[in-house]
């Protein structure tokens, strides 16, 4: 017999899917397609709200009061304009009052004295975005569909104290999510909660890292043994390349968890990379679907590996810097120097995108960051000759063949290349 909670669906709606009154009405229409299903809705902040909150937060740090107030007013108007279209009469007044209270807290934040770290204050502040969006969406569901439950994700997703990139306490979160959601889903068919935000042991707000709402959906689904997760996006599914860099993209109809994890590791940005693991562990399928075309097929990510090789995927990382270092005493690069190099790079908090070594030199590629380049040179130049090249790109081709490789390298200078059975990677310059 199937367990009773087998039929829970987890839906993640990102910022673009709730960026306007029209978009929110569209979310309501999507929910209408899933009559009688138990659904946990995980929602991000509306449109570009998180970026705007980041800029407000900067203004508090720089003590730019006028800028803070004008940007805050713009964000307020954005939410209130939407509410005025979505609601009328008493309902409109009720939800406006709730939103006003949050904006009172946003305004008060500017003056608030605190001895907390910058990261901790960032998390406390940035979480207003998801708080706003989830209240508005839940209220709209209540108006147009049925009674539903608004749930505070900070009471359910528990983490350590790593503000801005918190690590989930799985045991605690699973227990809290199960205890709260299973009962709440008996009383109401739909729960609306926030992506991205969580809290530590003391109940202080933490966040899971930018774009972390996908991961939240994965956490809820894992804890609830959900039937599936659907990420509703502004693209028809997972594509084999970023349409920003590539003309003829193709939709991947079905790929395995492994393949999706590989693609996100190499930098494909459709799904937050941490999302897949908790789903893979419980074999919960993930659907990526278009919110503009909700009945279309989308992409299915599950245990089936049989289609993985069918379409080559291309992942581009622009603005790369290739370092090449040689021991000053011309000693060979053996384990001892390599471990010295890695220690120094890890002290400079360097993330390496690709690396390679020869007898006398070690090469590694990083994202361009002026301060980091300086830190790397400082760390390494006492013992090594350090050279670097900027304005490069890293192209990864999954399931490559000669044609795909010729295509990506055409007219470019290949500075470094690596091939494994399924993956070819090229560092390219002009
Ligand atoms: N609102 C957060 C962000 O923009 C989380 C998310 O959208 O996934 O990063
Ligand atoms: Mg987003």
User: For the segment 257-296, what is each residue's pLDDT rounded down to a tens digit?
Assistant: 999 998 988 888 789 989 999 999 999 999 999 999 999 9
**DSSP-derived secondary structure for 266-321:** TT--SS-GGGHHHHHHHT--EEEEETTSTTS--EEEES--TTTTSS-EEEEEEEEE
- Over residues 188-194, the mean pLDDT reads 96
User: For the segment 127-159, what is each residue's pLDDT rounded down to a tens digit?
Assistant: 999 999 999 999 999 999 999 999 999 999 999
- Over residues 67-96, the mean pLDDT reads 98
Domain match, 227 and 319 both: no
Q: What is the pLDDT of residue 370?
A: 94
Domain match, 350 and 222 both: no
SS (H, E, C) 102-140: HHHHHHHHHHCCCCCCHHHHHHHHHCHHHHHHHHHHHHH
Q: What is the pLDDT of residue 1?
A: 45
Which amino acids bring their CB within 6 angstroms of ligand 1?
14-15, 44-45, 50, 129, 195-196, 210-213
| Domain-located, residue 301 | no
> 382-406: buried (b, 16+ CB within 10 Å) or exposed (e) per residue?
ebbebebeeebbbbbbbbbeeebbe
- Over residues 61-71, the mean pLDDT reads 97
Determine the Cα–Cα distance for residues 307 and 335; give it in Å rounded to an integer.
40
CA 14 / ligand 1 centre spacing (Å): 7
Q: What is the pLDDT of residue 2?
A: 45
The enclosing domain of 219 has a CATH number of 3.40.1160.10
User: For the segment 287-337, what is each residue's pLDDT rounded down to a tens digit?
Assistant: 999 999 999 999 999 999 999 999 999 999 999 999 999 999 888 888 888
- Over residues 244-260, the mean pLDDT reads 91
Q: What is the pLDDT of residue 5?
A: 46
Q: What is the pLDDT of residue 3?
A: 47
Name the token pair of 363. 């090469």
Which residues is 429 bridged to in the sheet?
413
What sign has the CA pseudo-torsion 267, 270, 271, 272?
A: positive
Q: What is the pLDDT of residue 159?
A: 98
| Domain-located, residue 293 | no
Nearest CA to ligand 1 atom 2: 211
Nearest CA to ligand 1 atom 6: 211
pLDDT of 78 above 70: yes
Q: What is the pLDDT of residue 6?
A: 52
Domain match, 184 and 37 both: yes
| Domain-located, residue 205 | yes
CA 164 / ligand 1 centre spacing (Å): 12
Domain match, 199 and 328 both: no
Pocket residue to mutate for ligand 1, from 11, 50, 273, most atoms within 8 A of Cβ: 50
pLDDT of 391 above 80: yes
- Over residues 220-236, the mean pLDDT reads 96
Residue ranges making up the domain that contains 98: 5-233
Going by their DSSP bridges, the two strands 228-233 and 8-13 should be labelled as parallel
Q: What is the pLDDT of residue 359?
A: 84
pLDDT classification of 113: cutoffs 50, 70, 90: confident
Domain's final residue, options 233, 251, 282: 233
| Domain-located, residue 98 | yes
Our measurement of the distance from residue 194's CA atom to the centroid of its chain's CA atoms, rounded to an integer in Å, reads: 13
CA 266 / ligand 2 centre spacing (Å): 19
């Amino acid at each position: 017999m199937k367990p009773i909670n087998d039929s829970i669906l987890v839906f993640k709606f990102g910022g673009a899917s709730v960026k306007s009154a029209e978009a929110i009405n569209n979310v309501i229409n999507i929910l209408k397609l899933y009559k009688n299903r138990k659904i946990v809705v995980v929602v991000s902040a509306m449109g570009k709200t998180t970026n705007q909150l980041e800029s407000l937060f900067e203004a508090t740090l720089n003590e730019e009061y006028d800028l803070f107030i004008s940007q805050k007013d713009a964000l307020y108007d954005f939410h209130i304009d939407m509410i005025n279209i979505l609601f009328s009469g008493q309902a409109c007044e009720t939800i406006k009052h709730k939103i006003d209270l949050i904006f009172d807290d946003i305004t008060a934040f500017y003056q608030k004295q605190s001895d907390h770290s910058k990261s901790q204050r960032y998390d406390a502040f940035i979480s207003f975005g998801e708080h706003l969006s989830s209240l508005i969406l839940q209220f709209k569901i209540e108006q147009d569909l049925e009674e539903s439950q608004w749930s505070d994700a900070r009471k359910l997703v528990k983490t350590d104290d790593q503000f801005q990139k918190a690590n989930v306490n799985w045991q605690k979160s699973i227990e809290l999510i199960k205890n709260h959601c299973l009962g709440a889903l008996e009383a109401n068919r739909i729960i609306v909660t926030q992506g991205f935000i969580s809290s530590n042991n003391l109940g202080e707000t933490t966040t899971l890292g930018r774009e972390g709402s996908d991961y939240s959906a994965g956490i809820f689904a894992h804890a609830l043994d959900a039937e599936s997760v659907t990420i509703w996006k502004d693209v028809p599914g997972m594509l084999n390349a970023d349409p920003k860099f590539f003309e003829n993209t193709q939709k991947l109809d079905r790929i395995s968890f492994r393949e999706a994890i590989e693609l996100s590791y190499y930098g494909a940005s459709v799904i937050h990379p941490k999302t897949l693991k908790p789903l893979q562990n419980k074999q919960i399928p993930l659907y990526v679907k278009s919110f503009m075309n909700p009945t279309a097929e989308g992409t299915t990510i599950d245990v089936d590996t049989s289609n993985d090789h069918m379409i080559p995927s291309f992942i581009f990382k622009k603005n790369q810097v290739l370092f090449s270092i040689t021991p000053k005493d011309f000693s060979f690069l053996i384990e001892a120097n390599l471990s010295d190099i890695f220690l120094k790079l890890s002290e400079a908090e360097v993330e390496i995108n690709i690396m390679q070594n020869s007898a006398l030199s070690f090469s590694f590629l990083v994202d361009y960051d002026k301060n980091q380049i300086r830190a790397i040179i400082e760390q390494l130049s006492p013992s090594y000759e350090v050279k670097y090249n900027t304005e490069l790109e890293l192209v990864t081709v999954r399931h490559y063949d000669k044609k795909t490789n010729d295509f990506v390298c055409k007219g470019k200078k290949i500075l470094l290349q690596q091939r494994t059975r399924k993956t070819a990677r090229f560092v390219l310059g002009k």
